[in-house]
Amino acid sequence: MTMKKMVLALCALLCTLATQAQTVEEVLAKFEEANGGKAKLKAIKTLQIESVVKMGMMGQTFDIDVTTIKERSKLHRKEVGGIMGMGKSWSMVTDTAGYVYFPGMPSFGGRGPGGGGDGPGGQSGPTITKMKEDELKRQKFEMDCAGLFAVLVDCAAKGYKAELTGTTKVNKEECNKVKLTIADGLSATYFINTKTGLVQQVEAQGEMAAVLSGFGSMMRMMGGERRNYKVTIKYSDYKEIAGIQFPTKEMVSIGPVETQIEHMDIRLNEPVDEIWYRVKG
């Protein structure tokens, strides 16, 4: 082996050892700094996002408007535009209660979501369901406003468990794999770019997958099986807003089905209209 090759091999070994010696705390600290800094992230009081989902269904492509409203420790509300004759659906979590609303929809000769009977004009009636106490407790983390990946910010102080499970490449970029567990059955693996500190991908299954994909409330009302639900989300086109990094595009893969989400408007620390707290169809 030539001297040059020996030097290169030694450098590669030292880089590998340095990567292995990293702690999950160091990886998350770099993530926080890359995304604007812990103080700035924790200072976000409200987060309002307008998005467009491009979804393929029955051989057609639909553009679906999605509105996400967060007020720290007070509210998380996601409103999804209707398709195929349906109106808007929404889910809401507050510090005291949680609700899921599913609109009336064509029954197509069957029974409506949740097993309800047919309503007038061949429609199933709209339903508002209050979350059970244990379900509400498990979803309160969604009120966290500290950026799009709020669960990673100061996660130890929140009582979450973070584990560094290795490295891998996403789109040819080396990433640290951080498994974050919020509660039993609620965990996800975050792929954080080793150079930039930005999240490039998230993988999850079960209830956490449904939550991250944004379709959890719809699946709940239509009786979908969430236990075996798996999702991979790739993030791109980061944009700085008020000193915070936000990915503006997501590619959500559920098995062979891919759905593209584009965040058209992201607003920080603007007052939240009281209409988003109302419980009505």
In a domain, 228, yes or no: yes
Would you say residue 16 lies in a domain? no
Q: Decide if 25 is inside a domain.
A: no
Mode of pairing for the β-strands spanning 118-119 and 123-124:
antiparallel
Cβ-based burial of 157 (10 A; exposed 0-12, middle 13-18, buried ≥19): exposed
Q: What is the pairing mode between strands 161-170 and 89-94?
A: unpaired
Q: Is residue 18, in this structure, part of any structural domain at all?
A: no
pLDDT of residue 3: 59
Q: What averages of pLDDT result for each successive group of 10 residues across the chain (281 residues)?
A: 56 49 93 97 98 80 92 96 78 95 65 46 74 91 96 96 97 97 91 98 91 66 61 97 97 89 97 95 61
In a domain, 13, yes or no: no
CATH number at residue 164: 2.50.20.10
Task: List the domain range (segments joined by +) for residue 86.
Answer: 31-277
Q: What is the pLDDT of residue 218?
A: 54
Quote the distance between the C-alpha of residue 62 and its chain's center: 21
Is residue 5 in some structural domain? no
What's the Cα-to-Cα distance from 23 to each of 20, 28, 162, 214, 239, rounded to whole Å?
Answer: 8, 9, 10, 31, 28
Does any domain span residue 117? Answer: yes
At 206 the pLDDT is 87
pLDDT given at position 33: 98
| SS3 track for 18-77 | HHHHCCHHHHHHHHHHHCCCHHHHHCCCEEEEEEEEEEEECCEEEEEEEEEEEECCCEEE
* pLDDT for the residue numbered 96: 96
pLDDT of 30 reads 98
- In this prediction, residue 263 carries a pLDDT of 97
* 179 in any annotated domain: yes
Total number of residues shown for the chain: 281
Question: pLDDT at position 224, please?
Answer: 52
Please state whether the predicted TM-score (pTM) of the whole model is above 0.75.
yes
One-letter amino acid for residue 221 of the chain: M
Here the tokens at position 140 are 């309160």
Counted domains in the chain: 1
Token digits of residue 125: 């009636």
